[in-house]
Structure 1
Amino acid sequence: MQDAPMSPEERKQSWLEISVISEEQFDAMREHQAERQSDVPQPGDDAPDFEIDVLDRDRQRTGETVQLSALRGKPVALMFGSYT
């Protein structure tokens, strides 16, 4: 049988027992995290509009740009990564 999940207050107390931060610092950290989460897009939300440079096959900028809103109704795939 599994233990019941800890309540938010129990998790907070456990964290405070093993950390070097004060309760005030912990509360400020949680408030900051909650503020950041409020701005996170949710599934089904429209993607924010942005403009990016068009690259050629050698990954060099072509001088052209494309805006996401110009592609509305077309399939779009975004790839995030480092090519350095």
Structure 2
Amino acid sequence: MLHLVETAHAQIAPNGSLHLVHAVEGLPSSASPNDWAVEVMGASETRLSEAPRSTETPASIHVRAGNPSQLIVAIAKEMPPISP
């Protein structure tokens, strides 16, 4: 994972940012998650944040329940446009 984070960081445009996304499928709706779902999401976020921290690479961490491809698109749409 460390190599992937370093490689991704090297590819970022000058005004760009690195976003690590982890989609957790099969959990209850985020509108009313149970204790187990909250624990799984928290543990996933903790583990995902270790790689950029250990490489001193700034990155935003996104851990959400749902379909991976749909979440990646949704998170990308939330980002402000990059100025040229």
TM-score, normalised relative to structure 1: 0.28
Structure showing greater Rg: 1
Of Structure 1 and Structure 2, the greater helix share is in 2
